[in-house]
Amino acid sequence: MLAFVAILSSCTKTREPVVTEQSDSTGMNEQSAQNSDNLVAMRAPAPDAPRTTILLQFENFSMTAAFEKIVNTNDYFNEIHQDTIVVALGLSRQISGQTYAIKTDSSIQHVEIFQNYETSLFVIGEGPVITLMEWKHYVGNWEKLEIANGSFKTAEYSNADFEQFPDVTRDEIVQAVKATFGGETNTWVESAAKCNGPLGLPCGVSISRITLKVVLTYTTGIMVERFIVFEVPIGC
């Protein structure tokens, strides 16, 4: 988590943002519209952003929650989805401990909801941060969430959760960063060469994805799984 805090403190000294912006020390971040170089712009979030309620819909099941900002390209959340919904977050400081209301029709006999998370490694260069989304990740165990009175609350994560990552060496990180840029040497490759592992600045680790698994049992006894994936960009 120290590495993530270091990113936040560096935001006051950055250049003009390249792409988008991200968040505060909770690790819940501003929408990441990454460019072809996998760059994430750095800018402090605006306080007191308005909240938007979204409807996440599968056949026979739906859930709602409110976020400070959300991306809804082409009315994505007005659709009824087959098995997976991907939510690209805007400024959303509270994914941990977020409350959702759920609704089923008469064909559903029982609902169970589970949550896990995934971390990714980032490298601080001059200005933007790169996140190695196509490289190694830590994936947490599924945690069952309690449903009461037609709603549930998502699990909350500690600093230790944010720092979970597979054991990797400096050389492995350097090679992964080079692969991101097609073997080119640049400021992020130079930064990666200074990392003493995934948690040694200018490298760091943070939560990049949170997934909800919804297990629906129909009155016929058939069970199906549905997934809601929250993409949580890293940076500020």
Q: For 66-97, how does the pLDDT look when each residue is reduced to its tens digit (9 = 90+)?
A: 877 677 777 888 899 999 999 887 655 556 67
As a whole number of angstroms, the distance between CA 170 and CA 59 comes to: 47
How high is the pLDDT of residue 13?
Answer: 29
Under the banding of pLDDT at 50, 70 and 90, the label for residue 15 is very low
Instruction: Name the token pair of 56.
Output: 């996440």
Instruction: Name the token pair of 103.
Output: 């609704």
Which residues have a Cβ under 8 Å from the Cβ of 74 and sit 6 or more positions away?
Answer: none
As a whole number of angstroms, the distance between CA 65 and CA 54 comes to: 6
- Average model confidence (pLDDT) across the chain: 78
Report yes or no on whether pTM surpasses 0.85. no
Pairing of strands 52-58, 80-81: parallel
How high is the pLDDT of residue 94?
Answer: 57
Instruction: Name the token pair of 160.
Output: 């230790």
* Cα-trace Rg, the chain: 19
Under the banding of pLDDT at 50, 70 and 90, the label for residue 187 is confident
Highest mean pLDDT (candidates 11-15, 23-27, 90-94)? 90-94
Asked if pLDDT for residue 174 goes beyond 80, the answer is yes
How high is the pLDDT of residue 92?
Answer: 52
How high is the pLDDT of residue 186?
Answer: 82
Three-class SS state of 120? strand
